[in-house]
Amino acid sequence: MKPAWRNASFLIGISITTIIVVTALVSLVWTPYPPTKIDIVHKLAAPSWQHWLGTDPFGRDVGSMIMAGARSSLSVALIAVLVGAGIGIPLGAFASAVGGWVDSAVMRLTDLAFAFPALLTAVMITALAGPGAGNAMLAIGIFNIPVFARVTRGATLAVRELDFVMAARATGRGEFSIMARHVLPNISAVLLVQVTIQFALAIIADAGLAYVGLGTQPPFPSWGRMLNDAQTYIFKAPLLAVFPGLAITSAVLGLNLLGDGLRDLLDPRLSSRR
Amino acid sequence: MTAFLIRRLVGLVVTLWLATVVVFLVLQVLPGDPAALMLDTSARPDTIAALRHQMGLDRSAWVRYGAWIWGLVRGDFGVSYTYAVPVSELIAQRVMVSVPLAVLSICLSTAIAIPVGVLAAARRGRGTDAAIMGVAQFGVALPNFWLGILLILLFAVAYPVFPAGGFVGWEKGFWPALRCLILPALSLALPQAAILSRVTRSAVLETLGQDYVRTALAKGLSGVMALWRHAVPNALIPVVTIIGLQFSFLLAGTVIIENVFALPGMGRLVFQAIAQRDLIVVQDLVVLLAGAVIVVNFLVDLAYLGLDPRISHEGAK
């Protein structure tokens, strides 16, 4: 195994991800300006020493808004992935341990879930249940459930045929106990990689929902909402449309690279670069 | 073979039916009374009750579901609460925007991704490969609606060659209408192309390592011929699978992209219908879009038969 510090994807990915997580955490205690502070005199200011990324049509500091936006984006994505993994992984493990018609039924259900364009249904759920960060987390989380169920089932099926599982079975352990003690720990690498992928997708979905006004609600800043606001001023202040998008793209890029790196490091058999 | 087709067709119908159940149930559970929403907040309870009766909302959920499904089977999508016109008419207008947009995006993404992915595989490990995969890595991370805004900045604000949004309608002629769809289609296609080119690259690398490619080279076939005649056709199965899967992403993507470019397509219609609690329109549209995904995945399964003669499904459970 190559050491972690020799894997470029992992290094770049973990660096970007760390920067974004730290930014989100720092925004809890400090931002250059209060992110919701309106200052009409200095509206639509170009980037300067006072306002590094300029100000928006209300004179709010774009840099501060992006810092606070990282917090809302990461928290929505985190909860969405926790919901998906928290229900999907046990569901997939259960289906594979029990087998038979239960397994088929769970798999048909995931097939059915994949038939619904995820973002469209998330739009429907958040719009009808009420826009906001909480419903966005749930709506995105629901579509993570079948993904985690599928991946878990597929990975456990392979591991369950291995000798050490046979040995555990021979000692008289029950299927569920074997699943928890022997099988799941062995597929943690696969699951961890999946978590980074879903995290990245959740950030895009959250930004999409916020863009159409269904995610985190104003005045609390969100990257998607900032893009929507920026579009109105696209002729006057084109830069406003650039920074929030860069933030989303770097967060997603960082997580994707981290996922690729983890895959290479943890499970060379799954490596995409041969 | 026939048995396989029949089994798949039955599965298709069952999935479509389950999709209608799910959509109906979700809309039952979510809050919001369409009748109350259509009227003013000051409407008296008996007025709301009268409207509920007129809209058929006071019937039991079973009856309403039955009536809806029976209508769908006969091709009757019901009547929109807010527009008071048949939903099929509303959808027919919007389809003329959304379907060309989706088809254009799939074509663009495939036309870009396959040559680029094959090129990267052929130049594996060299500068070209690294450059293509670097760009693709970045492309995968691009949210399509931001790409849309960037394209507007570039091609509608800085160099105004395309409109920043809106749709002139096909009656204004083919090219003027198509011009309105180019930027939205590109925004949808480029991130998809990034994913697809990565899949193409690894699928072609896989087949390039196979014995039959070595045989082809050994019998004197040039590298380019071996690549296009033997490696690429055999790499198409995973590529077609991903194109099929991307169809679902694309449909969802149009919902946001149609908002970015103010296109009067099905995505915009979903939004308006949700905002006005025009539940019958929401129900029909979501089932229609889910149905489209289910049918496309079915067709992808059938495409395997054509692509790989080894897959006969005779022995499949």
Mean pLDDT by 10 residues, chain B (317 residues): 82 88 83 69 78 77 88 86 86 90 94 95 91 93 94 91 87 90 95 94 89 88 85 86 83 86 90 83 89 86 75 49
Please report the pLDDT score of residue B317 as a whole number: 36
What CATH number should be reported for the domain holding residue B274? Answer: 1.10.3720.10
Please report the pLDDT score of residue A210 as a whole number: 93
Phi, psi dihedrals of residue A25, rounded to the nearest 5°: -70, -45
Give the three-state DSSP class for B125. Answer: coil
Say whether both B48 and B118 belong to one domain.
no
Helices (H), B142-209: 144-152, 174-208
Select from A235, A248, A252 the Cβ nearest to the Cβ of B157. A235
Taking the Cβ of residue A274 and every Cβ of chain B, the question of whether any pair is shorter than 8 Å is answered with yes
CB contact under 8 A, B145 and A116: no
Taking the Cβ of residue B155 and every Cβ of chain A, the question of whether any pair is shorter than 8 Å is answered with no
Q: Find the domain containing B43 and state its range.
A: 2-73
Residues of A in contact with B289 (CB under 8 A): 116-117, 120
The encoded tokens of residue B182 equal 């180019």
CB contact under 8 A, B293 and A125: no
**Tell me: the pLDDT tens digits for A90-102?**
999 999 988 889 9
d(CA B142, CA B154): 16
Say whether both B185 and B115 belong to one domain.
yes
d(CA A82, CA B1): 43
Residues of B in contact with A211 (CB under 8 A): 145, 256, 259-260
Residues of A in contact with B271 (CB under 8 A): 123, 127, 212
Work out how many domains chain B is built from and give that number.
2
Provide the ipTM: 0.89
Say whether both B144 and B282 belong to one domain.
yes
Give the three-state DSSP class for A61. Answer: strand
Say whether both B134 and B264 belong to one domain.
yes
Taking the Cβ of residue B5 and every Cβ of chain A, the question of whether any pair is shorter than 8 Å is answered with no
For chain A, the average pLDDT equals: 89
Residue A13 predicted with pLDDT over 90: yes
Please report the pLDDT score of residue A269 as a whole number: 60
Select from B18, B271, B289 the Cβ nearest to the Cβ of A117. B289
**Tell me: the pLDDT tens digits for A183-210?**
888 888 889 999 999 999 999 999 999 9
- Chain A: nearest CA to B146, how far in angstroms? 6
CB contact under 8 A, A234 and B142: no
d(CA A256, CA A199): 9
B252 or A146, higher pLDDT: A146
Residue A274 predicted with pLDDT over 50: no
Say whether both B119 and B66 belong to one domain.
no
Query: B43, B73, B103 — which closes off a domain?
Result: B73
Architecture of domain A4-28+59-272: Orthogonal Bundle (1.10)
The encoded tokens of residue B171 equal 């009656």
Taking the Cβ of residue B75 and every Cβ of chain A, the question of whether any pair is shorter than 8 Å is answered with no
Residues of A in contact with B27 (CB under 8 A): 128
CB contact under 8 A, A124 and B293: no
Residues of A in contact with B251 (CB under 8 A): 117, 120
- Chain B: nearest CA to A130, how far in angstroms? 9
At residue A265 the predicted structure's pLDDT band, cuts being 50, 70 and 90, is: confident
Taking the Cβ of residue A2 and every Cβ of chain B, the question of whether any pair is shorter than 8 Å is answered with no
**Residue range A221-229: mean pLDDT, rounded:** 93
Please report the pLDDT score of residue B311 as a whole number: 62
Amino acid at A179: M
Say whether both B6 and B105 belong to one domain.
no
Please report the pLDDT score of residue B251 as a whole number: 80
Residue B178 lies in a domain: yes
Please report the pLDDT score of residue B9 as a whole number: 87
- Residues whose CB falls within 8 Å of the CB of residue A154, separated by 6 or more in sequence, listed in order: A92
Residue B78 lies in a domain: no
Q: B261: nearest CA in chain A?
A: A231
- Residues whose CB falls within 8 Å of the CB of residue A260, separated by 6 or more in sequence, listed in order: A9, A10, A13, A272
User: Residues of B195-229 as b/e, b for ≥16 C-beta within 10 angstroms?
Assistant: bbbbbbbbbbbebbeeeebeebbeeeeeeeebbee
Residue B252 lies in a domain: yes
Please report the pLDDT score of residue B316 as a whole number: 44
Q: A244: nearest CA in chain B?
A: B146
Taking the Cβ of residue B143 and every Cβ of chain A, the question of whether any pair is shorter than 8 Å is answered with yes
Give yes or no for a contact between B165 and B263, defined as CB atoms under 8 angstroms apart. Answer: yes
Helices (H), chain B: 2-29, 34-38, 45-55, 61-73, 87-122, 127-141, 144-152, 174-208, 211-218, 223-225, 232-260, 266-275, 279-307
- Chain A: nearest CA to B249, how far in angstroms? 6
Residue A255 predicted with pLDDT over 80: yes
Q: Which of these ranges, A27-31, A166-170, B130-134, has the smallest mean pLDDT? A: A166-170
Give the three-state DSSP class for B290. Answer: helix
- Chain B: nearest CA to A171, how far in angstroms? 33
Say whether both B62 and B144 belong to one domain.
no
Question: Which of the 8 DSSP states describes residue B317?
Answer: -
Taking the Cβ of residue A270 and every Cβ of chain B, the question of whether any pair is shorter than 8 Å is answered with no
- Chain B: nearest CA to A128, how far in angstroms? 6
Say whether both B179 and B244 belong to one domain.
yes
Say whether both B159 and B122 belong to one domain.
yes
Taking the Cβ of residue B30 and every Cβ of chain A, the question of whether any pair is shorter than 8 Å is answered with yes
At residue A49 the predicted structure's pLDDT band, cuts being 50, 70 and 90, is: confident
At residue A1 the predicted structure's pLDDT band, cuts being 50, 70 and 90, is: low
Say whether both B101 and B55 belong to one domain.
no
Residue B315 lies in a domain: no
Residue B37 lies in a domain: yes
- Chain A: nearest CA to B243, how far in angstroms? 14
CB contact under 8 A, A120 and B275: no
Select from A128, A212, A248 the Cβ nearest to the Cβ of B146. A248
Residues of B in contact with A127 (CB under 8 A): 271, 274-275
At residue A28 the predicted structure's pLDDT band, cuts being 50, 70 and 90, is: very high
Taking the Cβ of residue B135 and every Cβ of chain A, the question of whether any pair is shorter than 8 Å is answered with no
Give yes or no for a contact between A78 and A70, defined as CB atoms under 8 angstroms apart. Answer: no
CA A49, chain centre distance (Å): 33
Say whether both B159 and B293 belong to one domain.
yes
- Chain B: nearest CA to A139, how far in angstroms? 12
CB contact under 8 A, B251 and A125: no
Say whether both B67 and B105 belong to one domain.
no
